């Protein structure tokens, strides 16, 4: 079964249960050599959108879900892939059980811009609900943001 890795609001298991009801949480892990950032401020509704970019010294906390084919299209729709906002990439994730290959939605736009405070709060809350380490959640909450959508 394909494995999906969430690094944004889909880290929240309750949200994923609504968006992809046939996709159980598999666990958590770290995407090594990448960092969480924001981009596409000119296409976002409330500021820049979450994405990941390669960065050798960084890592991103992710939540893994087993996603059957019929939920993949729903997730693509929710993430704006059908609008060309995001594209899929397959990357290796480190878990306590070993390495897993998972697919991610990555913004198909330039890095830069600030996320809205409300959006950043949703991502931070999702990370906390998924069991991200306290220091990771604290770093998310302390990122610069705009007051749009607050």
Annotated binding site: 4-9, 119
Q: Which of 79, 97, 128, 139 is catalytic?
A: 79
Does the annotation mark 69 as catalytic?
Answer: no
**Buried b / exposed e across 109-126, counting CB within 10 Å, b at 16+?**
beeebbbbbebbbbbbbb
Pair 79, 55: CB distance under 8 Å: no
Whole-angstrom Cα distance, residue 89 to residue 103?
A: 5
Contacts (Cβ under 8 Å, ≥6 apart) of 43? 49, 85, 109
Binding-site residue ranges for substrate: 4-9, 119
The residues carrying an active-site annotation are 79
């Amino acid at each position: 079964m394909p494995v999906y890795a969430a690094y944004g609001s889909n880290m929240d298991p309750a949200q994923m249960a609504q968006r992809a009801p046939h996709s159980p949480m598999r666990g958590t892990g770290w995407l090594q050599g990448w960092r969480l950032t924001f981009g596409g401020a000119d296409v976002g509704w409330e500021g820049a959108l979450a994405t990941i970019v390669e960065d050798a010294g960084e890592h991103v906390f992710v939540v893994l879900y087993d996603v059957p084919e019929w939920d993949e299209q729903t997730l693509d729709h929710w993430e704006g892939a059908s609008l060309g906002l995001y594209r899929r990439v397959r990357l290796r994730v480190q878990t306590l059980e070993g390495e897993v290959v998972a697919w991610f939605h990555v913004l198909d736009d330039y890095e830069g811009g600030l996320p809205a405070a409300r959006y950043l709060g949703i991502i931070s809350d999702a990370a906390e609900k998924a069991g991200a380490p306290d220091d990771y959640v604290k770093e998310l909450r302390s990122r610069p943001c705009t007051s749009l959508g607050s």
